[in-house]
Amino acid sequence: MIPSSSPVARLTAELVAIDSRSSVSNLPIAEKIEAELAGFEVERLDYLDANGVAKRAIVAHRGPPGGYALSGHMDTVPETGWQEDPWTPRLDEKGVLHGLGSVDMKGAVAACILAARSVPEDVPATLLI
């Protein structure tokens, strides 16, 4: 998808490719994120928003109690103003990844997931997404 040696860029591109506008269900992106959290205890907080749209929040933990927490969100703004498909991630000539949510906040969520996976398993880590 994205020819990059960066695991963060690759995972970000995979997340960008999933439509997670705040007006639609976030279950597809939540399931993708859960798949990236092997080795974590994952709690799924399912609910319907005010418009009756199925949503999910994720609390993932690994290790003993305590430690640190990283948080983020899966939803994006509407796709208005795009001249190209907002769900087709692409690198520009400077190597910057573009796509809906790449900056707010799918790139940061990808970085949080990869950071939490990279620390030793005995270091307590919690992700709130």
The structure tokens listed for 39 are 């080795």
Task: Catalogue all structural domains in the chain, each as residue range(s) with its CATH number.
Answer: 7-128 (3.40.630.10)
DSSP string, 30-94: HHHHHHT-TTSEEEEEEEE-TTS-EEEEEEEEESSS--EEEE----B---TT-SS-TTS-EE-TT
For tokens 């269900």, name the residue: 25
Report pTM.
Answer: 0.94
Contact 25, 54 (CB under 8 A): yes
Residue type, 88: T
Do 57 and 45 touch, CB atoms closer than 8 A? yes
Type of residue at 106: K
Residue 53 corresponds to which amino acid?
V
Residue whose token pair is 């939540």: 30
Report the alpha-carbon angle 107-32-7, nearest 5.
45
pLDDT tens, N- to C-terminus, the chain (129 residues): 566 679 999 999 999 999 999 999 999 999 999 999 999 999 999 999 999 999 999 999 999 999 999 999 999 999 999 999 999 999 999 989 999 999 999 999 999 999 999 999 999 999 999
